[in-house]
Structure 1
Amino acid sequence: MVVSYKKLWKLLIDWEMKKKDLCSLAGISASSLAKLGKNENVNTDILVKMCAALQCDFSDIM
C-alpha cells in the first residue's frame, strides 16, 4: 500500500505554514519531514506528534 501525504502539504498551505515551522511546532527532525516529502514510511510517533501539533487526525494528513 502506498501512503500519500498530499493532505498534509495542503493543510500547511491552508495554515500558511512552512515545513520548518512544522518541524519546530511538532518537535520532529528535518529528515523525518524529508521522508514524508518522498511518501516514505515514518514512525507512528512522528505522525502522532504532527497531528497533536496541528490538532488534527491521521485522516487529515494522509
Structure 2
Amino acid sequence: MFIDYSKLWKKLAAMGIKNKTELMPLAGISSNILAKLSKGDYISMESLQKICKALHCDVGDICVVNNENSEEK
C-alpha cells in the first residue's frame, strides 16, 4: 500500500505552478516533506492540512491510497 500524490501535481499544474518547490513557501512545508511527497511516502496529517489550506482543497483532492501492492486482502 502506498500513497499516490499525482492529484497534487496535477492540481499544482492547473494552478500554473510548474515547479514543485513553489509549494514549500505557499504551504509552509519543508524540503523534507516535499521529498517525501515526490517519493510517495507518508507525511503527517499536519502537513496535509497545510497543503490543503494553501490550495483551498480537501485531502481527497491531492492524494489517494493505492492498495495494488498490498499483501493484505
Q: Under a length normalisation based on structure 2, what TM-score does the superposition of the two structures give?
A: 0.80
Cα distance in 2 between the residues matched to 1:29 and 1:19? 12
Q: Which 4+ runs in 1 deviate beyond 2 A?
A: none
Give RMSD over aligned pairs: 0.8
Structure 2 runs not aligned, ≥5 long: 64-73
- Corresponding residue number in structure 2 for 1:48: 49
| Paired residues for 1:1-62 under 5 Å | 1-17=1-17, 18-62=19-63
What is the number of residues matched between the two proteins?
62
Secondary structure, counterpart of 2:4 in structure 1: coil
Percent sequence identity over aligned pairs: 45
Q: Under a length normalisation based on structure 1, what TM-score does the superposition of the two structures give?
A: 0.93
Provide, for residues 26-55 of structure 1, a one-character-per-residue CA deviation record: whole Å limited to 9, x for no partner. Answer: 100011011000000111100000000000
- The structure number with the bigger radius of gyration is 2
- Looking at secondary structure, tell me which structure has more helix per residue: 1
Provide, for residues 3-41 of structure 1, a one-character-per-residue CA deviation record: whole Å limited to 9, x for no partner. Answer: 100000000111111222211011000110110000001
